[in-house]
Amino acid sequence: MKKFFEIPPNGKARTAIFISGSGTNAIKILEFWQNDPEKCHFIPSCIVTDRPERCNARDIAQQFNIPIIEHDIFSFYKSKGLKSISLASEAGREARAEWTQGLIQKLENYPLEFAIFAGFIPLCNITEKLPCLNVHPGDLTVLDKNNQRLLVGLHAIPIELAVINDIDHMRTTVIVASAYSSSGAGMDEGAIIGLSPEVDIDFQKQESSYYKDIYNQRQGKVNDQLRDMANENQEALKVDGDWIVFPPSVNDFASGRFAIDEKGQLHLDTNGNYLPIEYIEYSQNQKEIVFSE
């Protein structure tokens, strides 16, 4: 049995919050901390951003009086003579590894127990140095016929997959992110910490089968209507999914009660005994531990 980290002597796990965009999930986590810092199990040590000129990280850091680490990925790739931050080429992957190493060096100024990906876009294996919580816009408990997680992928892809697999609702999953491959695969394979309530998919006045039929007619190619609908639903999921499950999941994880065994089974310390669990299901101001059978 291996704990994800050891709690510092003051009983508060230190974390870095990674942001690339609006930072709304980060704000909800920071408001959770600010509302009762004494009872909160974590301390936000710093904000981290890869795009300081293009996101709200500076404003959020100032609002909550937290140090900020700026590590611009676009200027770094440009300095390497690369026109995009794509991982499609070997040069792009080498640049990503070098950029990540530079970020790790900056993080060394802040002793941390874990990190939080709150809408952090660039794939990077910070996960090799720290346990990292990530919020995922899909129910990762749903499995395919091969017993693999079905609703995986970046951005709104899990919602697209839900629709074409006849699922009429969404859920947000909080996981311990695992290492990624050059295609982005792997990030969604980690242990599930939290699961949000179900959120109905808004099919925008269409039958639920409408988008699947077009998808099949296009021989498995996602059309603009499906993509736009999924993107709009992802925004709704933030409010009724992410904001419900992410802050308390972070706080429970920060308590240091989670551990994982050699088979990858998640365990939770309950009254001094580690018991195998599947995840914790969160709703508004409530939670239920789902134990493994």
**Which tens digit of pLDDT belongs to each residue from 189-225?**
899 999 999 999 999 989 888 988 888 887 777 788 8
Q: Residue 56 falls within a domain, yes or no? A: yes
Q: Is 40 exposed, middle or buried (0-12, 13-18, 19+ CB in 10 A)?
A: buried
Q: How many domains does the chain have?
A: 1
Q: Residue 61: is its pLDDT beyond 80?
A: yes
Q: Residue 81: is its pLDDT beyond 70?
A: yes
pLDDT-above-70 percentage for the chain: 98
Q: Residue 41 falls within a domain, yes or no? A: yes
| Residue 219: predicted pLDDT | 72
Higher pLDDT, 196 or 123: 196
Q: Residue 292 falls within a domain, yes or no? A: no
Q: Residue 272 falls within a domain, yes or no? A: no
Average pLDDT over residues 36-40: 93
Average pLDDT over residues 136-163: 94
* Confidence label for 274 from pLDDT (cuts 50, 70 and 90): very high
| Residue 9: predicted pLDDT | 92
The CATH number for 38's domain is 3.40.50.170
Higher pLDDT, 182 or 216: 216
Q: Residue 193 falls within a domain, yes or no? A: yes
Q: Residue 24: is its pLDDT beyond 60?
A: yes
Q: Residue 136: is its pLDDT beyond 90?
A: yes
Q: Residue 272: is its pLDDT beyond 80?
A: yes
Average pLDDT over residues 18-43: 96
Answer whether 0.85 is exceeded by the pTM: yes
Q: Residue 293 falls within a domain, yes or no? A: no
Find out whether 21 and 56 touch, Cβ atoms under 8 Å: yes
Domain that holds residue 208: 12-257
| Residue 182: predicted pLDDT | 54
Q: Residue 271 falls within a domain, yes or no? A: no
Q: Residue 121 falls within a domain, yes or no? A: yes
Instruction: Give the separation between CA 220 and CA 71, rounded to whole angstroms.
Output: 38
Q: Residue 35: is its pLDDT beyond 90?
A: yes
Average pLDDT over residues 170-197: 84
| Residue 223: predicted pLDDT | 80
Q: Dihedral of CA 142/143/149/155: which sign?
A: negative
Find out whether 174 and 135 touch, Cβ atoms under 8 Å: yes
Rounded (10°) CA dihedral 249, 254, 258, 259: 130
* Confidence label for 184 from pLDDT (cuts 50, 70 and 90): low
Find out whether 163 and 208 touch, Cβ atoms under 8 Å: yes
